Copies of this chain bind each other. A is one copy, B any other.
């Protein structure tokens, strides 16, 4: 049986891209993997770790023989990378390559793809399948990658009506090879759900640590931090660049969720200030019921 992907090109070989490579190799679902990206040091490290078989620092060169191109770079770098992919495929006359990404917001990525992939070559952006694996750790870089990252996790694809069905099929099968469950939804719904479930919690965590860092007792805060504080702030160790880019690229849905959350905290503040134990009890009980219902 032929492997699923003959030539895979992975642009960005850190935690997300690197873990995909390791998982596909473990599943024997890929023949060769060429890595690409801005930092030669990262690419060398990825090659040493057998994440990729070879690398190119010139993205347009890296994609020329690709059957599948996986873009896992910070959202802020996506536009430049898409342009280089487009140039490379046109120059090589590559009419087969399917492109997918791992960006945490999907409406803007889809807009970028439609703006840039006007040719690739011939079918426009139809062979671009926007995707987002719901997985990660607070660590980054090739050394953080591991084959099991996507096992039993969800991957969301947000194809449009124009997206090529064979392209959706290949990207779906690729993710299934990593052990992930694949679901599709529209990009707008994705962005709203992710703002609530991932982007807002990261802002909450960064904000909590940041607002405490100048108090006199900051050392004691960390010394006496029990599990609760450690859990709430764990993701404040996430990559700042990646999170700046996510915020700027999913601005309105995140602002909507932040507004909702700020209103909630105002309500809790007022209830506590008024000594309104009944109100606090009602909120805590509802929250516990909701969380217990959905997590058990």
Q: How large is the interface on A (under 10, 10 to 19, 20 to 34, 35 or more residues)?
A: 35 or more
- When all copies of this chain in the complex are counted, the total is 2
A214 to chain B, nearest CB (A): 9
**Is A146 at the interface (CB under 8 A from chain B)?**
no
Residue of B nearest to A153 (CB): B226
List of B residues within 8 angstroms of A290 by Cβ: 209-210, 212-213, 218, 236
**Is A137 at the interface (CB under 8 A from chain B)?**
yes
**Is A92 at the interface (CB under 8 A from chain B)?**
no
Contact with B along A255-266 (1 / 0, CB 8 A): 100111111111
Residues 51-85 of A contacting B (Cβ, < 8 Å): 76
A153 to chain B, nearest CB (A): 8
A240 to chain B, nearest CB (A): 4
**Is A233 at the interface (CB under 8 A from chain B)?**
yes
The answer, among B211, B230, B248, B291, for a CB contact under 8 Å with A277, is: B248
Residue of B nearest to A275 (CB): B248
6 further A-B contacts with Cβ under 8 Å, apart from A204-B204, A210-B287, are A197-B221, A197-B222, A205-B287, A231-B234, A248-B275, A262-B265
Q: Can you offer 29 A-B residue contacts whose CB atoms are under 8 A?
A: A136-B228, A154-B223, A189-B220, A203-B268, A205-B228, A206-B287, A206-B288, A207-B261, A208-B261, A209-B287, A209-B288, A209-B290, A209-B291, A210-B290, A212-B260, A218-B290, A218-B294, A222-B294, A231-B235, A232-B232, A236-B288, A237-B288, A238-B288, A243-B280, A244-B281, A244-B284, A248-B280, A255-B272, A258-B265
A211 to chain B, nearest CB (A): 4
A287 to chain B, nearest CB (A): 4
Pairs of residues from A and B, 6 with the lowest C-beta to C-beta distance, nearest first: A240-B284, A222-B294, A211-B264, A209-B287, A210-B287, A206-B287
**With the chains together, A134 CA to B229 CA distance in Å?**
11
List of B residues within 8 angstroms of A193 by Cβ: 217, 220-221, 224
